[in-house]
Amino acid sequence: MMNNGSNQQIQELICKNSKFLLSSHIRPDGDGIGSLLGLGLGLLRAGKEVQMVLEGGVPSSFKHLPGSELILKECTTIPELFILVDCSESTRAGRIAEKFPPDINIDHHVTNTMFANINLVDPEAAATASIIAQNFSEWGLQMDEPISSALLTGIITDTLGFSTANTNPTTLRLSAKLMESGADLFELYARGLTFKSFESVKYWGAGLSRLNKIGTLVWTKLTLADRKDSGYPGNDDADLINLLSSVEGFDIAILFVEQGDGKIKISWRAKPGMDISNLALQYGGGGHPAASGAEIKGSMEEIEQKAVQDSLAYLKNLTKTYTKTGFSK
């Protein structure tokens, strides 16, 4: 736990303020959406005035969640309290964090920069949604079916269906309580992890057609042309990185996604036991030991070549470390 605040402080701020602004990182995943909705709906139920804002809006794959229609693309009021969830650094929230400095930071990324006045950061937590679920009642908030569905979506998607190394008994107990509050595990799992649109699968096809492999490193890329040709509406990878990480015998998987602003989004995935968050930090990004990312300006060719070489160097150094300590890889 990397805190410089307490649950009591958060509870007091929630109690004494009435106008809230909530946001998460750009290109939000299930944990970002679930954490935002879970906390936002809880504050609304408590009688607070709440604006939930995501710069790019809600991805189509999470529009089934109750309350998702309330999420705006920009803030239209001046808040008394700004809470940023599932965001390792304020810049990842986009323009909104430039306009309003975050008061509270709730997150579980090991690379969190502790940027807010109060930081509730637990790298051991399976998801930011699990931190919110665990502290919900202590903050004076009450659970219901829409809230539990949002929070369980965050946990399911960030643990890839309870399969990641940070899934622990606390995670499962929290999930059971959310199910008892009305969340449908089976439907949320299917919508969050299984179902894919025709456009997203076609988008995957473009990336898979140029899949590369050197040793135990696999990687590919998605271009703006791929997105246009497939009709995929988002500016993310449609979760292709999770498919790459399932390649048998891989140690690291990388996916490069071209953005419309001249930047390249890089996503790394590593097998359990490895820590590739430092690789992402070298590119100004961050994340988890086994799942990290960064976004940098430049050409696809140059960034792809450099990131692949840096990742191969990481694997080579890791092999040397194993050899030196007497362990076989």
- Match 């919508």 to its residue by tokens: 191
Q: What is the pLDDT of residue 2?
A: 63
Helix-helix angle 145-158:128-135, to 10 degrees: 140
Q: Are strands 291-297 and 286-287 parallel, antiparallel or unpaired?
A: antiparallel
Domain annotation for the chain: domains and CATH numbers? 7-194 (3.90.1640.10), 205-325 (3.10.310.30)
CA dist 223 and 232 (Å) reads 12
- Each residue's pLDDT tens digit, 164-183: 888 999 999 999 999 999 99
The three-state secondary structure class of 23 is strand
Helix-helix angle 128-135:30-45, to 10 degrees: 20
State mean pLDDT over 257-261: 92
State mean pLDDT over 122-142: 96
Percentage of the chain beyond pLDDT 90 is: 83
- Each residue's pLDDT tens digit, 274-297: 999 989 999 999 888 889 999 999
- Which of 50, 39, 45, 53 minimizes the C-alpha distance to 120? 39
Q: What is the pLDDT of residue 201?
A: 96
Q: What is the pLDDT of residue 288?
A: 87
- DSSP H or E segment with residue 129: helix 128-135
Q: Give the pTM.
A: 0.87
State mean pLDDT over 191-201: 93
Q: How far apart are the first and last CA of the chain?
A: 31
Contacts of 209 (CB under 8 A, 6+ apart): none
Sheet containing 291-297, strands listed edge to edge, beginning at the edge strand earlier in sequence: 212-214, 217-222, 252-258, 263-270, 291-297, 286-287
Cβ(13)–Cβ(135) below 8 Å: no
CA dist 22 and 69 (Å) reads 15
